Amino acid sequence: MKTVAMALFPDFLLLDMAGPLEVFSIANRYLPAAEHYQILTLGTEPGPLRASNGVQVQTDLLLEQAQADVWRRWRQYEALAAAAPVAPAVTAHASVPTDEHGS
């Protein structure tokens, strides 16, 4: 069995987590059981992590635990992805040139 992991950060986009992991879930439908992907979620802090839309996700391991497992050779990851926080909105204010009368 191959292990894929998704690192989740507070305020992540749920779609950024669900979309990529669904690819492996669907692949498991077509693969022999011995070749299935084990899907793990890794949290950056203990407890459930809240996505940007308010949904809470309970992770399987803390990111630091997963790193320790790799160093101890207890687990090897075939793929690692990350769902990061949403970037703050940026509002651009265009400066519109005006003539001397303000129009």
Tell me the mean pLDDT per 10 residues along the chain, length 103: 89 92 94 93 92 94 85 74 72 54 59
Per the structure, how many domains does the chain have? 1
Which residues form the domain of 51?
2-83
101, part of any domain: no
Helix, coil or strand: residue 98 = coil
The answer to the question of residue 50 being in a domain is: yes
Q: Do 21 and 3 form a contact (C-beta atoms < 8 A)?
A: no
Alpha-carbon distance values, 42 to 17, 29, 46, 55, 94 (Å): 11, 23, 10, 16, 41
Which residues are registered as beta bridge partners of 8?
Answer: 43, 83
For 100: left if phi > 0, alpha if psi spans -120 to 50, otherwise beta; the answer is alpha
Whether 29 is covered by a domain: the verdict is yes
Q: What is the pLDDT of residue 22?
A: 93
Q: Assign 42 to helix, strand or coil.
A: strand
In a domain, residue 90? The reply is no
CATH assignment of the domain containing 58: 3.40.50.880
pTM of the model: 0.74
